[in-house]
Structure 1
Amino acid sequence: MQPKAHAPSFFMADELRQELINRHLITMAQVDEADVPAVPAEVDGYHSLFPLEPLPPPNRVPGAGSLGCVTSCYKAVSGRDALAYCLRRVHGFRLVNTRCMVLVDMWKKLQHSNIVTLREVFTTKAFAEPSLVFAYDFHAGGETLLSRHFNDPSADAYFSKRKWGPRPAPPARLPPESLLWAYVVQLSSALRTIHAAGLACRVLEPSKVLVTGRSRLRVNCVGVCDVLTFDNSQSSNPLALMAQYQQADLVALGKLVLALACNSALVVQRDNVPRALELVSLHYSADLKNLVLYLLAEPGRPRSVHDIMPMIGARFYTQLDAAQMRSDVIEEDLAKEVQNGRLFRLLAKLGTINERPEFQKDPAWAETGDRYLLKLFRDHLFHQVTAAGAPWIDLSHIVSCLNKLDAGVPERISLSSRDAKSVLVVTYGDLKRCFENTFQELLAAGAAE
């Protein structure tokens, strides 16, 4: 997102507004219980569950999923803070060894911009069977790398095994290299934080990495493998086992980058790796190929995610510049909405005063004294007409007058009654005094009840 040269506007950019509206709609989505009876009304303090993906069939074979078990995902609202969360349910799971909660506590403390934060893990029977539920932060509108990038039939056909006929042509449309490096920077940053905390990701695959916006990545489902595969044997030498998992994370990163570069998840098969590297050599720089080769090579010594930083090189500054530029654009739009919020509060207060039917047993309260000046000012704001008597609508006039009222400037303003028989000349400072005194009178009367 870059700053655009356009005419000044009182409102945020249409693109950002639409994105926020879409996220809000997804956050507020609710399910019809008649259509999805398998979804309970409440699960351990979470309510308004909404499936984020198709629910698995009742007869699905355990172990068929990418996590080695049957899972389902829901958006839910917490009764504690009224915020939306993502619940990842593991079907038919009984938690036998509670020592894994030590790792869960470590994941809960981990905060990173490229990791979906784990909030809590609990067991429940609300789904009519024992289930283990992982509660994560909810990022509305997110989609997986699998659905975003791995939908090119020509790429899958190129890497599929064929016993007869000529091999199809290589895919014509591949992701730009700048996007791949943006992904590498974010994923390596997430791994760096995870490994520094003494943990391992273990879910670095296309179906477990979320994409929000154009290129923002977040590693999802962290901590699930640590709980599902935990046993007492891990307590004998946990550091050595975690080091193995961290080395496996680097291999998984290499496979993910290679699959993204070729637009196909089939490239991770051993027979397809040479052909995939050849495709990378033809379409991308030598740095990207060297990065993939380093990550996929059989390690002669323990490797670290820090080793790939020299391969990223100055591309890191490109991503930093893009992030800061997006921050500038969003802050500029946020500043507009701060001003709009201030003006909205002024209009809300003005609306509580104008045309009030009765106050303190006086039906004419809103038409006399200071309130009469505010009524004339309301007409000056919204009921202007041209010389021909047609409505004259100018947003800049409304905004300018409200700003002057809020500041109480000494500028004089001429207010005319609707019958044009009386004209009052006052300053915005006088109007502000009338406005504040009248609103405080309403507040005091409301507090006294």
Structure 2
Amino acid sequence: MSDNLREELQHKNEETLRSVNAKDFNLPEELHVYHSLYPLDIRQEKSVKVFGYPSWVYKSTCSVDGRVYSLRRIEGFRLTNEVAMSTIENWRKIRHANIVSIREAFTTKAFGDHSLVFVYDYHPLSQTLFDKHFSSTQMSAQFHSNISESVLWSYIVQLASTLKTIHSSNLAARMIEPTKILLTSKNRSVN
């Protein structure tokens, strides 16, 4: 194994094992079958731009299988129709290299409000497309160096393949938002 690959895997493992005291961040000790919540949001402001509700992302460990998952919490969302949760089953069936697999969804009051939580596979050391290419710190660093054509084509091909898979499953990707597209490794994106 090359030294670079060994180092990358070690950093990913360290990131997976990172933890915080839940009380310091006002997080619940347990959430459904998940524990050891760790906030992943770089930006701490509550953004309602994408979902219409504030949303937060956490890393968490499942007490059933011991694996680490990513939890997206939609804050203040009150589920009025249980039939809406059946759509999650259609999304769970999708298996594609560029789509982060959803595992389940549930509602909770553990945060002191009505929240909807989506459980996804966790990809350590990922960053969003927005953070990589459009954040204020990256904009100043990349002002004179444009994104190369090969990188753009890589993103376009991966997004087109993702949309084709979603549409062939009779589902819709109602938005393509750079803050919700993950870059998991060199030029590999997952939605």
Give the TM-score normalised by structure 2. Answer: 0.92
Query: Over aligned residues, Cα RMSD in angstroms?
Result: 1.8
One-letter amino acid of the structure 2 residue matched with residue 23 of structure 1: K
Name the structure 2 match of 1:21: 10
Which of structures 1 and 2 has the larger relative contact order (alpha carbons within 8 angstroms, sep 6+)?
A: 2
The equivalences for 1:165-314 within 5 A come to: 171-219=143-191
One-letter amino acid of the structure 2 residue matched with residue 214 of structure 1: K
One-letter amino acid of the structure 2 residue matched with residue 140 of structure 1: P
Give the TM-score normalised by structure 1. Answer: 0.40
The equivalences for 1:357-376 within 5 A come to: none
User: How many aligned positions are there?
Assistant: 188
Q: Please report how far the alpha carbon of residue 32 of structure 1 lies from its aligned counterpart in structure 2 after TM superposition.
A: 2.0
Matched, 1:140 2:124: yes
User: Where does structure 1 lack aligned partners over 5 or more consecutive residues?
Assistant: 1-11, 156-170, 220-449
- Please state whether the residue corresponding to 2:166 is helix, strand or coil: helix
Q: Is the 8 A contact 2:38 2:60 kept in 1?
A: yes
Name the structure 2 match of 1:71: 55
Q: Is the 8 A contact 1:56 1:70 kept in 2?
A: no
- Please state whether the residue corresponding to 2:49 is helix, strand or coil: coil
Q: Please report how far the alpha carbon of residue 152 of structure 1 lies from its aligned counterpart in structure 2 after TM superposition.
A: 1.3
- Please state whether the residue corresponding to 1:19 is helix, strand or coil: helix
Whole-angstrom CA distance in 1 between matches of 2:84 and 2:51: 17
Q: Is the 8 A contact 1:211 1:218 kept in 2?
A: yes
Name the structure 1 match of 2:103: 119
- Please state whether the residue corresponding to 2:24 is helix, strand or coil: coil
Larger deviation, residues 131-140 vs 200-209: 200-209
- Which deviations, in whole Å up to 9, do the C-alpha atoms of 1:172-204 show, x marking residues without a partner? 311111111111111111111000000111231
Name the structure 1 match of 2:88: 104
Q: Please report how far the alpha carbon of residue 54 of structure 1 lies from its aligned counterpart in structure 2 after TM superposition.
A: 4.9
Among 124, 139, 147, the residue aligned to 1:152:
139
- Please state whether the residue corresponding to 1:35 is helix, strand or coil: helix
Check 1:208–1:55 CA distance in 2 against 1; reply closer, same or farther (3 A cut).
Answer: closer
Check 1:192–1:115 CA distance in 2 against 1; reply closer, same or farther (3 A cut).
Answer: same
Name which one, 1 or 2, has greater alpha-carbon Rg: 1
Higher strand share: 2
One-letter amino acid of the structure 1 residue matched with residue 149 of structure 2: E
- Which deviations, in whole Å up to 9, do the C-alpha atoms of 1:46-103 show, x marking residues without a partner? 001100015856xx5xx73322110111000001100000000011111001222232
Whole-angstrom CA distance in 1 between matches of 2:105 and 2:120: 9
- Please state whether the residue corresponding to 2:22 is helix, strand or coil: coil
Name the structure 2 match of 1:39: 27
Q: Please report how far the alpha carbon of residue 29 of structure 1 lies from its aligned counterpart in structure 2 after TM superposition.
A: 0.7
One-letter amino acid of the structure 2 residue matched with residue 139 of structure 1: H
Whole-angstrom CA distance in 2 between matches of 1:154 and 1:85: 32
- Please state whether the residue corresponding to 1:152 is helix, strand or coil: helix
Whole-angstrom CA distance in 1 between matches of 2:76 and 2:63: 25
- Which deviations, in whole Å up to 9, do the C-alpha atoms of 1:130-181 show, x marking residues without a partner? 11100000011100000101121488xxxxxxxxxxxxxxx53111111111
Q: Is the 8 A contact 2:163 2:173 kept in 1?
A: yes
One-letter amino acid of the structure 2 residue matched with residue 207 of structure 1: T
- Which deviations, in whole Å up to 9, do the C-alpha atoms of 1:328-386 show, x marking residues without a partner? xxxxxxxxxxxxxxxxxxxxxxxxxxxxxxxxxxxxxxxxxxxxxxxxxxxxxxxxxxx
Whole-angstrom CA distance in 2 between matches of 1:147 and 1:56: 14
